[in-house]
């Protein structure tokens, strides 16, 4: 069956892992103390967006909250509360022009041309929209959100290494697995998507985690979205 719909991972697929590790994460940790200083701990009646995100946690001070989130960032834990908080903090950096997303040229062109396109990332939907809303295209910042049909994250459908998450996505977009292609740098995510009945390829980019010989032999590998004959 022809592939009619593509679902893209973000980090390591359409932008370099180094952007996340050396720009986004340090920006978040740098601004977090100031963000947390505006919250009264313990949170009893959450009113601001930050307080609402933190309301399910039981922090007693901004210092204990900072230590918790720093430990998650240092270990790249895909925690949904952390991911929502990161989206709020990155908003400052994107709107001031301090952060622009270095989406690969092949990915910018693919997003502009492919008619049925979704994003599935561990980053919150808010963070995904910020990233695609502030893409560095030559020397300009461009907004690619108008080319994207929908977004999925952990709270919406579940973790990316679970096949049930991809089944939920298929149900939500109303497509059969055979007509959908999911692209990711992460073998566990690709395997989960295949288990749910999707087509799924591994995207290899400079700086991505190395793949084993057996992973390379047993998966379809691409290095650029230009290689897709769809």
Ligand X SMILES: CSCCC(=O)C(=O)COP(=O)(O)O
**Residue 62 contact, options Mg ion, ligand X, none, Cβ 5-8 Å cut-off depending on partner type:** none
**Backbone angles phi and psi of 126, in degrees to 5:** -60, -45
Please say whether the beta carbons of 182 and 198 come within 8 A: yes
Of 131, 162, 164, 132, the residue nearest 145 (C-alpha):
132
Identify which of residues 180 and 183 has a Cβ nearer to ligand X in the complex.
183
| C-alpha–C-alpha distance, residues 202 and 227, integer Å | 12
| C-alpha–C-alpha distance, residues 16 and 61, integer Å | 35
Please say whether the beta carbons of 189 and 161 come within 8 A: yes
CB atoms within 10 A of CB 220: 13
Considering only residues 21 through 50, tell me which ones interact with ligand X, judged by CB under 6 A.
24
By CB under 6 A, name the one of 50, 54, 103, 131 that touches ligand X: 131
Distance of CA 130 to the CA centre of its chain: 11
Does residue number 11 form part of the binding site for Mg ion (CB under 5 A)? yes
Does residue number 111 form part of the binding site for ligand X (CB under 6 A)? no
**Residue 122 contact, options ligand X, Mg ion, none, Cβ 5-8 Å cut-off depending on partner type:** ligand X
Q: Give the residue closest to ligand X by C-beta.
A: 123
| Residue 45 assigned to a binding site | no
By CB under 6 A, name the one of 6, 7, 20, 187 that touches ligand X: 20
Candidates 30-38, 123-131, 161-169, 208-216; binding stretch for ligand X (CB under 6 A)? 123-131
CA distances (Å), 22 to each of 17, 124, 164, in order?
8, 19, 32
**Backbone angles phi and psi of 185, in degrees to 5:** -85, -10
Identify which of residues 41 and 219 has a Cβ nearer to ligand X in the complex.
219
Does residue number 153 form part of the binding site for Mg ion (CB under 5 A)? no
| Residue 185 assigned to a binding site | yes
| C-alpha–C-alpha distance, residues 31 and 26, integer Å | 9
Considering only residues 49 through 108, tell me which ones interact with Mg ion, judged by CB under 5 A.
none
| Residue 11 assigned to a binding site | yes
Does residue number 117 form part of the binding site for ligand X (CB under 6 A)? no
Task: Name the residues that contact Mg ion, by CB under 5 A.
Answer: 9, 11-12, 185
Task: Name the residues that contact ligand X, by CB under 6 A.
Answer: 9-12, 20, 24, 78, 86, 121-123, 127-128, 131, 160
Annotated binding site for Mg(2+), which residues? 9, 11, 185
């Amino acid at each position: 069956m022809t592939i009619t719909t593509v679902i893209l991972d973000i980090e390591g697929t359409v932008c370099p892992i180094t952007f996340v590790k050396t720009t986004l994460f340090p920006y978040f940790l740098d601004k977090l103390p100031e963000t947390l200083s505006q919250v009264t701990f313990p949170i009893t009646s959450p009113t601001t967006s930050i307080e609402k995100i933190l309301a399910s946690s039981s922090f007693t001070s901004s210092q204990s909250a900072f230590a918790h989130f720093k430990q998650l960032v240092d270990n790249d834990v895909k925690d949904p509360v952390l991911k929502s908080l990161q989206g709020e903090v990155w908003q400052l950096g994107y709107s001031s022009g301090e952060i622009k997303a270095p989406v690969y040229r092949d990915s910018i062109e693919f997003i502009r041309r492919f008619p049925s396109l979704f994003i599935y990332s561990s980053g919150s939907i808010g963070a995904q929209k910020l990233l695609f809303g502030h893409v560095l295209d030559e020397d300009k910042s461009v907004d690619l959100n108008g080319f994207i049909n929908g977004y999925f994250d952990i709270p919406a459908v579940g973790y990316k290494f679970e096949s049930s998450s991809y089944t939920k996505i298929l149900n939500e977009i109303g497509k059969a697995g055979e007509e959908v292609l999911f692209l990711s740098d992460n073998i566990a995510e690709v395997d989960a998507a295949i288990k749910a009945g999707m087509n799924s390829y591994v995207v290899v980019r400079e700086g991505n985690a190395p793949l084993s010989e057996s992973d390379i032999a047993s998966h379809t590998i691409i290095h650029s979205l230009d290689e897709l004959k769809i």
